[in-house]
Amino acid sequence: MSIPEELLFNFFIAVEVKSIFWYNNKLINSQTIELDINNPGLLYGATIFSTLRVYKSLDNPLTQWQAHLKRIQSSLNYFNWQQPNWDSIRSGAELMKQHFPVLRITVFPDGTEWITGRMLASDLQQKQKHGITASIVQDYYRSLPSHKTGNYLAPILAKANAAQNHNSQEAIFIDKEGNWLETTTGNLWGWKDNCWWTPPTNASVLPGIAREYIRTSLIEQNQVVREGPWNIKLVKSFETLAYSNCIVELIPIHTVVTDTGTLTYRAQHPSLIKLQVLFQKD
């Protein structure tokens, strides 16, 4: 079944968009960007990016500014691409945050920086409180999943497929053995035996910045965080389920649609509230 074109392009686009962005050390008021027709970012999605939510300032601990820069720098080093002008990125982010709470910092192979912004989803608080439905998707795999590259076609297609076929708001990737890995936009969390479980970060799972913040915060509170493969037996035993990223923070998943049936979880669980509080610090 073909996926309607509008579904493919609307999942990661803000409801409210302003015609302003930062590109190559300049603030530009336009809805278009000029790129060379041979630019590898245009041709192949050859870019590195990180998306952050600004909490009052770039230096607020919840913004995780340095963690996002480190993610970009690490991937650039891995691909042996040119480092950007980090001062320009900071300047651009300072200007863009005056217009948007969410910033997407993109770097091209030649080191050129591009910063765009968007608003938070209007239904974010509703999803945080009541949860969403997710679907297991097969035969979709993120390109170079341990890095955030501009080739995001697989997550967009997977999420559109889940929405069209199962009326789901998210999709969950699995490996060849059927183990759950991550959603199209975040890391998974499950609660059982009085502790949180999360799939391990490896070559198939992005080491999320929000995931690391949650994991570290729990450990600092002397709580146990268990990491290991999420096989079907384990996921069926969870009392509650959620996913995290730096923009949505933590969203419960109350229903998961699989090929063999539907799994349900508590969307309002005491353990979830304790995790959501982690994002309410000043």
For 38, 78, 114, the CA distances from 34, given in Å and listed in that order, are 12, 27, 12
Predicted pLDDT at 13:
47
Q: Give DSSP secondary structure letters for the chain.
A: -PPPHHHHHHTTS-SS--S-EEETTEEE-SS-----TT-HHHHH---EEEEEE-BSBTTSGGG-HHHHHHHHHHHHHHHTPPP--HHHHHHHHHHHTTT-SEEEEEE-TTS-EEEEEEPPPTTHHHHHHH-EEEEEE-S---SSTTS-BS--HHHHHHHHHHHHHH--SEEEEE-TT--EEEESSSEEEEEETTEEEEPPPSTTS---HHHHHHHHHHHHTT--EEE--B-HHHHHT-SEEEEEETTTEEEEEEEEEETTEEEE--SS-HHHHHHHHTT---
CA distance 182 to 149: 16
Q: What are phi and psi of 52, to 5 degrees?
A: -130, 160
12-118 and 124-277 share one CATH topology? Answer: no
Q: Give the DSSP per-residue string, 118-171.
A: EPPPTTHHHHHHH-EEEEEE-S---SSTTS-BS--HHHHHHHHHHHHHH--SEE
pLDDT at residue number 202: 84
pLDDT score for 14: 40
CATH number of the domain at 124-277, please? Answer: 3.20.10.10
Cα separation, 169 vs 184, whole angstroms: 10
Q: How many CB atoms lie within 10 A of CB 255?
A: 19
* Mean pLDDT, the chain cut into blocks of 10 residues (282 residues total): 53 58 97 95 97 97 98 98 98 98 98 97 96 95 93 94 93 96 97 96 91 97 95 97 98 96 96 93 61
Domain 12-118 fold: D-amino Acid Aminotransferase; Chain A, domain 1 (3.30.470)
Q: Where are the domains of the chain?
A: 12-118, 124-277
